[in-house]
A and B are shown apart, each in its own frame.
Chain A
Amino acid sequence: MVKYARVSLVCFIALVVQACIAGQLPVAGARADVVLLAAIAAGLAAGPEAGAGVGFGAGLVLDLMASGPVGLSSLVYTVIGYAVGLLNAGVLRSSKLIPVASAAAASVAGVLFYALGGELLGQASLQKGNLGIVMLVVAAVNAVLVLPATRMMRWAFTEPRRDYINPRGIW
């Protein structure tokens, strides 16, 4: 229960940061995608199911906040979160470069899939931004922030020990 509350809190923070900070500070006309970062970090921290779950939930709320097609971000972020979790599970994590590289690659894939999905739905997404710059900015920002974000997600997905919460066992 505490785990779900923590995950919801982290997702809420990611959405607020996206809406209030990342969305308002464009670099060369492109904006960071903190919600995609949350899905990637969840996949890295707690596996494919967690990545898919966070991608779906946070992506769906982002879609409802924004004016694009509802369900597209959740679809793309679900798949990206799952894929990152799955690939990361099969890799021996001896280097911090692996999550950084995974985040950059997954970000590029996420932006590309979103743009293609939008285009398929008649949203003219490929015309709405310079796709190359958007991919570059999102990948760079997510690569920089992935380690602290993964740490945050690891904290969120760790169920606290009962004896830690209530050492006397009295409820």
Chain B
Amino acid sequence: MSPSRRGSRRRFTLILLVLASLTVLTIDFRNTGPVDSARGVVAGVFNPVRAGASWVFRPVGNLWNSAFHYQKLEHQNQKLQREVDRLRGQSVQNEVDQRQLQQFLKLARIPYLHGLPTTVAQVTSGPLTNFQDTIEIDKGAGDGIKAGMAVVTDAGLVGRIADVHGGTSTVQLITDPELSLFVRIQQRGSTEMGPLGQAHGMGPNRPLRVDDGILINRRVKAGDPVITSGIGTSTYPGQIPVAKVVRVKPSADRTQQVVDIQPYVQFDRLSYVKVILWEPTP
């Protein structure tokens, strides 16, 4: 084949593949059927392999994470020890607060998490690429899981179910900038209903930001707990711990407050999560 013909064939191949990619992008953007079906097929082929490999490589991954986070772990250990000491001293006070909270919730008729059905799932893998804020779990449609359901650990909110396949699901983490949720910022030690705002992620290993809804005159300070709002159209049940306030500053127009909140959940060390089998009432 002459060099010029070879060159034009190469260009033709490139143009063909680029057009094919753009076509797939368009189909996916319009959220039509074939892409979802293809995702299901690929998940069916790769998920068993991923689950098996995850089981094999989990100890290696733990060792790897420990090696890269040794100083962080040491610091965290000291911090936890101080926290345990503080909590011991506060246990009596907490019992009183708990009773007050139960009474408050009863009065406010807020749906409480304990009454909701949950299913425990194992995290089979973390994000595949650098631009994902998702994890995979080993429970799917067969276990009653549906897209949009909240995923939690004992520490608090992890995220929401983004995609459901036969026996696995993809969880979108709350750190994802594309995910936003209504939260309520409670005052520590107060039974008063805190201000309501909209939080969104700012990427992995970064706090979430509440930049809409918290008026400048509301009292918010570092350490205040943040919970899901549970308001009418919210996709999450109310009262799920989300994060604690780490930074407060006024917005550019000085009418609202911009609040950075640190999630309670440590996303890089998730092994098991709970999916709340709850859907918002339409």
Contacts and interface: CB of A to CB of B under 8 A. Distances in A.
Interface of A: 15-16, 18-21, 23-31, 33, 47-49, 52-53, 55-56, 59-75, 78-79, 82, 86, 111, 114-115, 118, 121-125, 127-129, 134, 138
Contacts of B64: 25
A15 B14 contact: no
B22 A20 contact: no
Contacts of B41: 64
Given A56-B21, A124-B177, A65 B43 contact: yes
Interface residues on B, range: 35 or more
B57 A129 contact: no
Contacts of B26: 71
Contact of B130 (A16, A56, A75, A138): A138
A30 B268 CA distance: 12
Contact of A71 (B22, B132, B172, B177): B22
Interface of B: 9-10, 13-14, 17-18, 20-29, 35, 38-39, 41-43, 46, 49-50, 53-54, 57, 60-61, 64, 68, 125-134, 162-163, 170, 172, 176-178, 202-205, 268
Q: Is the interface of A mostly helix, strand, loop or mixed?
A: helix
A115 B130 CA distance: 9
Contacts of B202: 127
Contact of B46 (A27, A47, A65): A65
A85 to B, nearest CB: 8
Given A52-B14, A69-B29, A23 B126 contact: yes
Q: Which 9 A-B pairs have the closest CB atoms?
A: A20-B53, A71-B25, A71-B24, A75-B21, A124-B177, A70-B28, A64-B42, A56-B17, A74-B21
Nearest to A20: B53
A31 B126 CA distance: 11
B103 to A, nearest CB: 41
Contact of A49 (B10, B25, B46, B204): B10
Nearest to A74: B21
Contact of B205 (A29, A62, A71, A138): A29
B128 A53 contact: no
Contacts of B126: 23-24, 26
B132 A20 contact: no
Contact of A56 (B20, B25, B125, B127): B20
B43 A25 contact: no
Contacts of B24: 60, 63, 70-71, 74
Contact of A75 (B10, B22, B39, B43): B22
Most buried by B among A71, A111, A115: A71
Given A52-B14, A65-B43, A33 B130 contact: yes
Contact of B125 (A23, A55, A134): A23
Given A16-B49, A25-B64, A127-B202, A68 B17 contact: no
17 contacts: A19-B125, A21-B57, A25-B60, A29-B205, A31-B127, A33-B129, A49-B13, A52-B13, A62-B128, A67-B134, A67-B163, A67-B170, A68-B129, A71-B27, A73-B129, A82-B14, A138-B130
